[in-house]
Structure 1
Amino acid sequence: MRKLILAALLAASICAYPHKHNYHIVYDTVEFKNWPSYTPKKINVSTEKLREALFCNTTTPRDDIHDTVNACADKLFEYVDQLLAEHLDPLSLPDMHTGFNYTLIITYHGELDLTNGNLGDFSSIHRGGDIDYSKDDQKVTLTLPIAFDDLAITYDYSAKIMGLGPTGGIEGSVTDLAMEVTFGFDYVNLLITLEDFTITNSGHIDFKFTGHALIDWLLNLLTDVVTSLLKKVILSVVEDVVGGALEAIVDEINSILHGNDNSTFIQEFALRQAHKTVLEHQK
């Protein structure tokens, strides 16, 4: 009864102010449970498509090296999209629990649980700009910007705030999430390496609560808390998932390049690259 009276008094006090209130939130616990395994499944990269990707800069006449490199990267990048879309879409997200203190006239304690989460629409991944390209007598280094147009998020939520216990769902999206990946290709030894992978833009999270309607002050408070939790978990998950997919594809390509059945393929590539290097030195 005391909690209900306090809640009623607080709500009345809030309604007396015409302006939007700023909440000062301090988290005392953030727990993650049931974190799924994101180990990617094996993907079959065809030798023919790999040949197209690696040979495109020797078989396609182009005046601009950046156009050539972009075309090669797009062909290899198709496998990233294939792996994510076929094996990891939608992706389960971990359950989350947080306890927090927030100040709104006086300080209160709240708790929030997010469960049954999913992250989907990985097929929106794409090259986010031109490739940064450098080359020496043995190695090509490619820095590739990649991005997601729109990732879909869903969660169930359960809150306990000032004796109030709203429950419902969350539906939203992450837009403009951008990353940068650097590949090295030793064309003398025919070895591809994943040298760096970083998130360069954490994107923008937008969502809505479904189910029971929330009064404005509670909606604003929960929005701030949920945004903080989602940002933390989505960046971690995307880094694990995309990074793991890239490593799996690099391993598969290297196994093809050095497989027992591909000696002719290796010789063909080495001869073409050697011929191209000679022509470059003659210019």
Structure 2
Amino acid sequence: MTEYKHIIYQKFPEDKVAVITFNRPEARNAMSVAMLTEFNDALHKAADDPEVWSIIVTGAGDKAFCSGGDAKEFLANVEAGKISEIEKFNRFNLDVWRFMEKMRKPIIAAVNGFCNIEVIQAVDLVIASQNAKFGLPEVTIGVSPGAGITVRLPRFLSKYWAKYFLFTGEWVSAEEGYRLGFVNKVVPHEKLLEEAMALARKINKNAPLAVGATKACVNLGGEMPIDEGMEYQLKESILMFYTEDLKEGIRARFYEKREPRFTGK
């Protein structure tokens, strides 16, 4: 386990999973500059590790997954006349989310409490505790969100619901998030990590290069004009035919009638 001050990084080699935990429960796991820096480092560590095929992100304690940017840190910068530091922080956020979107490994959010939707805008799947709450409270403290959610939310939710969250600052339940489509599954609070790990294991039974290519096709190809996107997804698919995993998958399933043993090659 790598030691950090504001997050916890755990690796489970037998499951090919890394778990990153926001670890500022006394501040509802608010995203400070220091925590974002460590989070970014941990994401790169997991991305570069061939023994990690999936990543789970969660929050310490029972109250919050991550409540969003650290308002106290914002106020200190405002009072010191350091608005440029806030802009720098938000630009750093934008870079981190974009890295998450482009990373060829699935990222699962295991949401244990209050969750600012901005923090999950670039994950791939969301498992929520029955105690979880989702919202965008920025307007309630006098600011509009500056880390990308006003652009991404209307793309995976209707613009009307996006505006509802953005204009009202209201928190909604995990069940409502499931109904609206940005939560994949709601589970008992005490089984949250167990369920997230089970999902990661299910994904990790598949060929990691194929999973990564598929993620790229959805996240990057989905941003392209349709003809360009079709060409992109075809190129990603054809590249898989050069992998050892594809040969292993076909031999195992169609000829040897067994589960494939994928290696990521």
Do they fold alike, i.e. is TM over 0.5? no
TM-score, normalised via structure 1 length: 0.21
Structure with more helix by fraction: 2
Structure with more strand by fraction: 1
Q: Which has the higher contact order (CA 8 A, sep 6+)?
A: 1
TM-score, normalised via structure 2 length: 0.22
Larger Rg: 1
